[in-house]
Amino acid sequence: MSFKNPIRPSEITPEHIYNDRRKFLKSIAIGLGATALSSMAFAKVRSLDNIVDSDLSIGDKKTSFKDITTYNNYYEFGTKKTDPSEYADKLTTDPWSVSIDGAVKKNKVLSIDEIIKLSSLEERIYRLRCVEGWSMVIPWVGIPLRSLLKHVSPTNNAKFVKFTTLNRPSEMIGQRYKVLDWPYVEGLRMDEAMHPLTILAVGLYGKVLPNQNGAPIRLVVPWKYGFKSTKAITKISLVEKMPETSWMKAGPSEYGFYANVNPKVDHPRWTQATEREIGKGLFAPRVKTKMFNGYEKEVGYMYKNMDLKKYF
């Protein structure tokens, strides 16, 4: 068996990814050899082969793969930043299906492979701004959410999109504690969901998405605080009323539905005027947070006549 180029070298910038390549290939080869022909694993690797660049990517220096995969807020695996990288490998992400229902012409249940075939995979380098006041620059791989939504033909009653994360306490050990009201629920307004910047990510740094980052499929909405970007999605519902999200339930005065990155509206706990850039070392200053995380030109129109202090 020969797998000379499952990933195009040009996709892969950081050196350590190159170094990981052998190990990665070997693991695939072993996997294939052992389980006859695991077409799923093969398909995943192949599909990440055809990644196209996007004009919507930013040019900032990417945060290291190590930092992106060891400093995570993913309460399904524990509340410490290091918990997800420690415990998420127990999660079974294959087989996986996402059910799409609600205000659509026809309900659908799709596999990850079926979803990523709806559009070409794109690399989107986005800044992820956490509500806690830190940020990373992450090279996601995914497809625009709008290609999936168009595929299910929303009806006129579709005003909001509700995302639900997997609920499986046997593998997601953080769900054994009622830190949040499981399963995790998030939502977007229809125009936000249809925005070209909004993506469903299945990869990171040209590779299949690591479990701690929300594998096998997660939402990424770059102009909103990180908690809006639902991980390990199992259900997408198109609904008429604004869904009540997990964090709204947990602290309505602290977490709003919109959660747009906004340096002028402080969180009761943290300043939102500045942010700490992960990976810049001990002596780097905080940087100023940008309105809509730097996407004001692209998304500002959706919030034109809204009081963003009220709709935080």
Partner 1 sequence: MTKSLRPPLKPIIFLVCLWPLFSIGYTIYNDNLGANPIEYIEKHFGLWALIFLCLTLSLTPLKRLTQFGQWILYRRMLGLFVFFYASVHLLIYLGLDYQFAWTDIQDDILKHKYVLVGFLAWLLLIPLAFTSTNTMIKKLKKRWKSLHQLIYLVAVLAILHFFWLVKKDLTEPIIYGSILATLLLIRVYYFAKNKQSKNKKNNEN
**Complex with partner 1: residue 3 or 270, whichever CB lies closer:** 270
Each residue 85-124 as x (binds partner 1 by CB under 8 A) or -, in order, gives ----------------------------------------
Residue range at the interface with partner 1 (CB under 8 A); choices 8-16, 110-118, 207-215, 281-289: 281-289
CB of 134 to partner 1, least distance (A): 6
Q: Which two tokens stand for residue 41?
A: 């694993």
Give the neighbor-by-neighbor strand order of the sheet with 160-165.
Answer: 108-111, 97-102, 233-239, 160-165, 185-189
Do strands 287-288 and 185-189 pair parallel, antiparallel, or not at all (unpaired)? unpaired
Cβ pair 196, 144 in contact under 8 A: yes
DSSP 8-state assignment for residue 104: B
**Least separation, in Å, of the C-beta of 31 and partner 1?**
29
Q: Which of 89, 274, 287, 311 binds partner 1 (CB under 8 A)?
A: 274
Q: Is 225 left (phi over 0), alpha (psi -120 to 50) or beta?
A: beta
Give whichever of 71 and 163 is closer to partner 1, judged by the CB atom: 71
Cα gap 161→272, rounded to integer Å: 26
In this chain, which of 66, 150, 249, 264 binds partner 1, going by CB under 8 A?
A: 66
Q: Which of 36, 105, 282, 297 binds partner 1 (CB under 8 A)?
A: 282
- Maximum distance among all Cα pairs of the chain, rounded to whole angstroms: 60
**Is residue 241 a contact point for partner 1 (CB under 8 A)?**
no
**Contact present, 262 and 197 (Cβ < 8 Å):** no
Estimate to the nearest angstrom the gap between the alpha carbon of 182 and the chain centroid.
Answer: 18
Which residues, 163 to 182, sit near partner 1 by CB under 8 A? 177, 179-180
Nearest to 145 by CA among 104, 106, 192: 192
Residues that bind partner 1 (CB under 8 A): 66-67, 70-71, 75, 79, 81-82, 132, 134, 177, 179-180, 250-251, 266, 268-271, 273-274, 276, 278-279, 281-283, 285-286
